[in-house]
Chains A and B, each alone.
Chain A
Amino acid sequence: EAGVTQFPSHSVIEKGQTVTLRCDPISGHDNLYWYRRVMGKEIKFLLHFVKESKQDESGMPNNRFLAERTGGTYSTLKVQPAELEDSGVYFCASSPLLLTGTNEQFFGPGTRLTVL
């Protein structure tokens, strides 16, 4: 079974440009999460989808960030326009929609974003 995949693995862009990160969750996982780690800081939650619906966007830093999950499969996270402080590693995670159970999250390898 394929794990969570993220593309690209690394992106270098200039301030003011736009970047789109993609996450493909494990097949059948309705929960999809985005997290990020800014240099030297803790991993922080950004948002959570259940299928195509945003359930919690409380961690999104500002309106330059737009996440979508059309069709409830893969998700994209767009940063427009990118700022220097957006540099960091963006992780995606998925989990099945269970009322009980482990509910462990399966994380992707991350996308390292560098804004120059």
Chain B
Amino acid sequence: DAKTTQPPSMDCAEGRAANLPCNHSTISGNEYVYWYRQIHSQGPQYIIHGLKNNETNEMASLIITEDRKSSTLILPHATLRDTAVYYCIVAFSGGYQKVTFGIGTKLQVIP
């Protein structure tokens, strides 16, 4: 699996958009970008994934650059409950998928 690079920590004011960047310059053509998060003391939680088009669901939006070498996870209106460690992962879709977690980005939402 391709390696990802994320900033170790970020702050965001409550109610504002949180934009979490991820670099994945060695991503291969059929690898997807997945985002998970881990809220303190809970198991990781899937957020969203995409291949090359921008994606949106009830939790977040995912913006992938045209060259697919980087992406941004957007939480449109961050709340205190969004404080968590966010993991950007690249992996193949379907079948067996061993998730390789990195260090992730610790997002602190500030009141």
A interface vs B, CB < 8 Å?
Answer: 4, 31, 33, 35, 42-45, 48, 50, 55-56, 91, 93, 95, 97-110
Q: Which of A45, A93, A97, A98 contacts B43 (CB 8 A)?
A: A93
Residue from A35, A93, A97, A105 whose CB has the most chain B CB atoms within 10 Å: A105
Q: Is A55 touching B96 in the complex (CB atoms < 8 A)?
A: yes
Task: Write the chain B residue with the least CB distance to A46.
Answer: B98
Interface stretch of the complex, out of B65-73, B74-82, B99-107 = B99-107
The 10 closest A-B pairs by CB, nearest first: A107-B43, A104-B46, A43-B101, A100-B94, A107-B44, A99-B94, A45-B98, A103-B97, A109-B43, A108-B43
Residues of B within 8 A of A100 (CB): 93-94
The answer to whether B43 and A104 touch across the interface, beta carbons within 8 angstroms, is no
30 CB < 8 A contacts A-B: A31-B96, A35-B101, A42-B102, A42-B103, A43-B44, A43-B101, A44-B101, A45-B99, A48-B96, A55-B96, A56-B96, A91-B43, A93-B43, A95-B97, A97-B95, A98-B94, A99-B95, A100-B93, A100-B94, A103-B93, A103-B94, A105-B44, A105-B99, A107-B43, A107-B44, A107-B45, A109-B41, A109-B42, A110-B42, A110-B43
What residue of chain A has the Cβ atom nearest to residue B93's Cβ? A103
**Could you tell me if A101 and B34 are in contact, using CB atoms closer than 8 angstroms?**
no
Q: Which residue of A lies closest to B34 (CB)?
A: A104
Name the prevailing secondary structure of the B interface residues. Answer: loop
A48–B98 CB distance below 8 A = yes
Given contacts A45-B98, A56-B98, contact A101 B46 (CB under 8 A): no
Q: What distance in Å separates the Cβ of B70 from its nearest Cβ neighbour in chain A?
A: 21
Residue of B nearest to A37 (CB): B101
Smallest CB gap from B102: residue in A: A42
Pairwise interchain contact A103-B95, C-beta atoms closer than 8 A = yes
Task: Evaluate contact between B43 and A4: CB separation under 8 angstroms.
Answer: yes
* Residues in B neighbouring A35, C-beta threshold 8 A: 99, 101
Determine the residue in chain A with the shortest Cβ distance to B47: A104
